[in-house]
Amino acid sequence: MKKILILAANPKDTSNLRLGEEVREINNTLQLSPNRDLFQIITESAVRVDDLTRSLFEHQPTIVHFCGHGSGADGLIFESDYGHTQLVSTQALARLFDLVQQQVECVLLNACYSSEQAEAIHQHIDCVVGMDKAIGDKAAIKFSVGFYTALAAPSDYDVCYKMGCASIDLQGIPEYSTPKIKFRPRRQAQLIKPVKSPKKDSVKNNISEQNRSVSIGGNVTGGAVQTGDKNTAMINFQQGSLSAPESVNIRVEISAVYNIIAQLETPDRRKINNAFEDVEEELSKTQPDKEELGMSLKRALDYAKKAEGFAEVVALLQPHLNKISAWLEGKNFGF
């Protein structure tokens, strides 16, 4: 189930917006869908800064929808304890969404001049929509209706965005180009069934959780031999035969590798994801550049090797890296 958190703010010292109508239209759109049970809507009105942080951590939403006023470079407008304007800066919003990036997939800023905040939040959230100029009530509401109509289908977020713009355009409203999206496909949504990492007590030599170094050498084309004491794990791959390149489903193997690495706790998670996004971009081409793909995958693995617990998942990675190496026609990228 996707949780949709709608945050509405219209301080008494700002122009009156039709936020209640926007919330009602979003509710109606999803309730009319045969897939209504896939969504839960949570609405917070007259949102103060403290309400923003509380709501994000209490409800852990999938989608955050802000409707209200924006102030360009100055930030978004929330309410003070007395119902007046309280600005939240672009940098503060970006830092907040950095803390919730594991559960939040999409942020929709349905407020005037909010594209700068969308750009900053996109550093941490894969899909963010903002407005690059002023947007009227009618256009804002129609965008929401179109967006959630497509979401209920269900559709990917980029399709939802396009449907939102089309809904404005179909009404003859010239603001259909005002919404702007910052989007990259969410890696988790593309993955095959996750592979569970082994329990720590099942790992040979009882490798310590602290001060662990891992090195991998040789071609990943055969069995793995692990040696070393509790502080060091040396993983060396023995030479074996490669599969035929045409027999390899490269997308499945790449997804399997990502799923295994996703089990690791690492401060380099964003860098790993970015490297896999480069892999995905290359795979989307009619004729992928295997050199580029191999280097991007190597970059992801180099970051993963620094993570605690990497030695424990090497045996799981090995058969998939075998097949990827075969698809790369035996090129040695030092996986």
Q: Kindly state whether residues 155 and 9 are assigned to the same domain.
A: yes
Closest CA to 114 of 148, 87, 80, 141: 87
**Whole-Å CA distances, 259 to 93, 191, 252, 262:** 29, 7, 10, 5
pLDDT over threshold 80, residue 200: no
**In the predicted model, what is the mean pLDDT of residues 18-31?**
96
Q: Kindly state whether residues 218 and 278 are assigned to the same domain.
A: yes
Provide the pLDDT for residue 157. 94
Structural contact between residues 59 and 26, judged by C-beta atoms closer than 8 angstroms: no
Q: Kindly state whether residues 115 and 233 are assigned to the same domain.
A: no
Provide the pLDDT for residue 220. 42
Does the residue 312 lie in any domain?
Answer: yes
Does the residue 77 lie in any domain?
Answer: yes
Domain count, the chain: 2
Q: Kindly state whether residues 160 and 262 are assigned to the same domain.
A: no
Residue 249: HSE in the Cβ half-sphere, 13 Å Cα cutoff: 6
With 0.85 as the threshold, say if the pTM is over it. no
User: Which of 120, 153, 184 is a domain's end point?
Assistant: 184
User: Which of 184, 209, 237 is a domain's end point?
Assistant: 184
Q: Is omega for the bond preceding 154 within 30 degrees of 0, making it cis?
A: yes
Domain ranges, residue 221: 200-327
Query: Which amino acid, one-letter code, is at 4?
Result: I
Closest CA to 105 of 179, 190, 9, 196: 190
Structural contact between residues 4 and 41, judged by C-beta atoms closer than 8 angstroms: yes
Q: Kindly state whether residues 212 and 178 are assigned to the same domain.
A: no
End-to-end alpha-carbon separation of the chain, Å? 37
Q: How far apart are CA 106 and CA 189, in angstroms?
A: 13
Does the residue 50 lie in any domain?
Answer: yes
We report the CATH number of the domain holding residue 118 as 3.40.50.1460
Does the residue 171 lie in any domain?
Answer: yes
Does the residue 251 lie in any domain?
Answer: yes
Q: Kindly state whether residues 161 and 40 are assigned to the same domain.
A: yes
Does the residue 191 lie in any domain?
Answer: no
Q: Give the model confidence (pLDDT) of 139-160 as tens digits.
A: 999 999 999 999 999 899 999 9
**In the predicted model, what is the mean pLDDT of residues 216-231?**
43
Does the residue 55 lie in any domain?
Answer: yes
Most confident of 119-123, 209-213, 259-263: 119-123
pLDDT over threshold 80, residue 46: yes
Q: Kindly state whether residues 114 and 20 are assigned to the same domain.
A: yes
Q: Kindly state whether residues 126 and 223 are assigned to the same domain.
A: no
Closest CA to 214 of 298, 299, 310: 310
Q: Kindly state whether residues 207 and 177 are assigned to the same domain.
A: no
Provide the pLDDT for residue 335. 63
Does the residue 290 lie in any domain?
Answer: yes
pLDDT over threshold 60, residue 213: no
Mean pLDDT of the chain: 84
Residue 291's CB is within 10 A of a number of other CB atoms, namely: 12
User: Which of 184, 210, 226 is a domain's end point?
Assistant: 184
Q: Kindly state whether residues 21 and 97 are assigned to the same domain.
A: yes
pLDDT over threshold 90, residue 259: no
